[in-house]
Chain A
Amino acid sequence: MSFFGVARKDIRLLRSRPRDLLINTAVPLAMAILFGYLYSPKGEPSSKIEIAVIDLDKSTKSQLLVESLGAEDTLQVEPMAEAEARELIEKGKLTAAVVIPERLGEKLNITAMFEDERPELPLLVDPSQSMSFSMLEGILTKVIMQQLGRAFGDRDLGLEQLELALGSVEQFDTGDAQRQKWRSFFQTGIEALKTMPAEETITGAGDANAPGGFELPVDIVRRNVVRKGGRFNAYTHSFAGMLIMFLFFVAIDGGVSVIDERRRGTWRRLRVAPIGRSALLASKVVSTGVQALFVALVMFLVGIFFFGVRVNGSLPGFMALLLLSACTAATFGLMLMGLGRTEGQVRGYAMFAVLLMAFLGGAWFPAWMLPGWLRTVAMGVPTSWMMEGFYAVTWRGLGFSAVALPLAALAGFCVIFAVIGLKTFRWDE
């Protein structure tokens, strides 16, 4: 049947291009393995959230709280001064900081669970990392409740807490009937503790969600930390991330364009025109750069006019970053022009490289979610520097100095890509 004949022909053609076959299977495999590795549960958590603890209380209870936070597998805790922590959060170098206010230890007892006005526990967070706030809120809740629970593990401490609570029942804003139930509950607890051996513990002190139930004895208060004038907008991340990825897609098209011109025969026409070799190659790089810049401008303009994306930081820094990002993409295209032999080959390898760079650079999801070693590896790709730079001059509201390093890194990538492209470019047909 001709149907099978055509299918056989296609398979034969595919087999004649083993590289294409390899790319088509290797790229999804590599991506699947990478994501699988990152999301798979391990003995050690793949990524620890770096937080600072500012202990203004310095009481036994506050120190116990710091120790409990430090013992958490998912946290990397460092004691720090508040100003330093704020500075690091503003620059995106720290996820969050827990501020333990003065005299919190005193207020951290069972009666606070029934009070309308509970002591605050400020949590300074990077607004771009809202997921980390939810995780931290959960961890803090657990740690504080464990700390309160420990009181009931100690007969005398438990008695002290329950007697304190019994004395405060009149202040509970729960109605007479409910107050009577609590009074009875605490009295029963006190009597039980008095008669129980010291090693036993009271658990299940009621349903926290039930009306009139007790609450976490502190209010964890979220406080976004951004430089004055800065304002986080989730679209800033998605626009910057997608822009960066698509800048490199433009670069792939630029890289393929010379192969395409060769295939069409128009490369020969360009070469016999009165244009020097360097000018011809430069024109190709410039046209890729202009396309990349156009994409970048359109993306940001749409973001600014319709989605609240703002350049809150240095405008010259932002413009320089746009320009250098376009240059990086254009020279990446030049490198592909040099290294590529066939369109399929270039598209396959380059697509893999771009997806990997987008992933490592935090274009898809924030880079802080990556394991520490991978974040170090990510320093070796331009996308990380682009993301860092765009974050700094957009919602973080930082000055030009904050993008100096990303700009220098991108300039370095431009040089590396251009040198590889020029060294490997073939002028012969």
Chain B
Amino acid sequence: MPPLLRVEKLQKSYGEIRAVEEVSFEVNPGEILGLLGPNGAGKTTTIGCICGLLEPDSGTVDIGDDPVASRPLEARRKLGVVPQDLALYEELTVEANLLSFGGLYRMSSARLVDRIKWCLEFVQLADSRDKRVAQLSGGMKRRLNLAVALMHDPELVLADEPTVGVDPQSRSHIFENMEALARAGKAVVYTTHYMEEVERLCARAAIIDRGKVAAMDEVPALLDLAGKARRVRLGWTGGIIPEEERRKLEERFSPSAMSVEGAELHLAFDGPVPVTGMTAWLAAEGHELSVFSMERPTLEDAFLKLTGRRLRDR
């Protein structure tokens, strides 16, 4: 099946600043592609170029068979955008918002009614259809923000950090919605700086930093970039342990890496983690722990390894 979105060598600068540089990727129907990067990495600029809000300096964007540059209206008909900020008319009702935005896509009245019903059920806002947006909770507004983008049943959905500032319940709703869209054969581009979201939702992801794609692969392959090592986080009730004690710990259990992160000591193990031995030793030495956790490598680690920086450095 041909890709629904094809981005090739996309480049966009603002004056001297290169916001997007040689970005290329494809998204297939039924796939959720994660665009993972810190704020200012170029994710929103990329989305802007895909939906035609920004004119790229070079490169091409095709949605299905339609190049955005030469057939923008045809391309946009296949596209639903979930903007990062809420884009709703607060003084109108939920239904009126759906009607207002759906009306931009040349649908018959009957089709509009059907789509409103479907969208309200999809985002679980059917009971709130007559409420004014101003009366909704933040999470409900986020879900409506998604519903508006789906009114014309787009083939490609661009979700630009759709869970910013939402409560866990609404976030879970949105995840379920994204997964349902993918199951329905839609192609989804999901930008975020939350690695957990990419790990939960996406089969593939592109790690973007400073306008460039640092890596793009299946999520497990990206996790492999961080190495196989498992990490153990230790925190002490009385603050970080002295350097002498840390050296003893290192000599006794031979971690592949050890670092102090704030008030915690992080140890990495390539092989099995000596949990029992380590807890027994720490107890025997009289250490009182407030944190003891074991973690597998994350995309955060992969990002750190690829860029030398943390996802939330900026």
Contacts and interface: CB of A to CB of B under 8 A. Distances in A.
Interface stretch (A43-51, A160-168, A264-272): A264-272
A273 interface: yes
Contact of B53 (A266, A272, A275, A276): A272
A271 B87 contact: no
A274 interface: yes
B77 A274 contact: yes
Nearest to A427: B53
B76 A274 contact: yes
B283 to A, nearest CB: 53
Given A270-B104, A272-B52, A274-B104, A264 B88 contact: yes
Interface string A224-250: 000000000000000000000000000
Given A268-B87, A269-B81, A271-B53, A276 B73 contact: yes
A268 B82 CA distance: 10
Nearest to B90: A264
A269 B89 contact: no
Interface string B31-64: 0000000000000000000011110000000000
B182 interface: no
A273 B76 contact: yes
Nearest to B145: A265
Contacts of A264: 87-90
Task: Please indicate which of the listed interface residues A265, A269, A272, A429 has the most CB atoms of chain B within 10 Å of its own CB.
Answer: A272
A268 B89 contact: no
B88 A272 contact: no
B79 interface: yes
A268 B81 contact: yes
Contacts of A269: 81, 83, 87, 101, 148
Interface in A270-317: 270-276
A269 B90 CA distance: 15
B87 A266 contact: yes
Nearest to A264: B87
A274 B72 CA distance: 7
Contacts of B51: 272
| A contact residues, range | 10 to 19
A268 to B, nearest CB: 6
A15 to B, nearest CB: 28
Interface string B76-101: 11010101011111100000000001
Contacts of B52: 271-272
Contacts of A275: 73, 104
A77 B90 CA distance: 63
A273 B148 CA distance: 11
Contacts of A274: 72-74, 76-77, 104-106
Contacts of B85: 265
A266 B88 contact: yes
A272 B77 CA distance: 9
A268 B73 contact: no
Contacts of B76: 272-274
A276 B76 CA distance: 11
Contacts of A265: 83, 85-88
Contacts of B73: 274-276
Contacts of A276: 72-73
B75 to A, nearest CB: 8
B85 to A, nearest CB: 5
Nearest to A429: B53
Interface string B99-116: 001001110000000000
A272 B79 contact: yes
B127 to A, nearest CB: 24
A275 B88 CA distance: 18
B53 A273 contact: no
A197 to B, nearest CB: 88
A429 B53 CA distance: 9
Interface in A123-164: none
A273 B52 CA distance: 10
Nearest to B75: A274
A268 B105 contact: no
Task: Please indicate which of the listed interface residues A268, A270, A273, A276 has the most CB atoms of chain B within 10 Å of its own CB.
Answer: A273
B105 A273 contact: yes
B78 to A, nearest CB: 9
Contacts of A272: 51-53, 76, 79, 81
Given A272-B53, A272-B79, A266 B74 contact: no
Contacts of A271: 52-53
B89 A266 contact: yes
A265 B101 CA distance: 13
B206 to A, nearest CB: 21
A14 to B, nearest CB: 26
Interface in A187-230: none
A429 B44 CA distance: 13
A275 B85 CA distance: 22
Contacts of A273: 76, 101, 104-105
A268 B88 contact: no
A301 to B, nearest CB: 28
Contacts of A266: 87-89
Contacts of B86: 265
Nearest to B87: A265
A265 B81 CA distance: 12
A268 B104 contact: no
Nearest to A277: B72
A274 B73 CA distance: 4
Contacts of B105: 273-274
21 contacts: A264-B87, A264-B90, A265-B83, A265-B87, A265-B88, A266-B88, A268-B53, A269-B83, A269-B87, A269-B101, A270-B104, A272-B76, A272-B79, A274-B73, A274-B74, A274-B76, A274-B104, A275-B73, A276-B72, A428-B54, A429-B53
Given A266-B88, A273-B105, A274-B105, 10 more contacts: A264-B89, A264-B90, A265-B88, A268-B53, A269-B83, A272-B52, A272-B76, A274-B74, A274-B77, A429-B53
- A-B pairs with lowest CB-CB distance, top 4: A265-B87, A273-B104, A274-B73, A274-B76
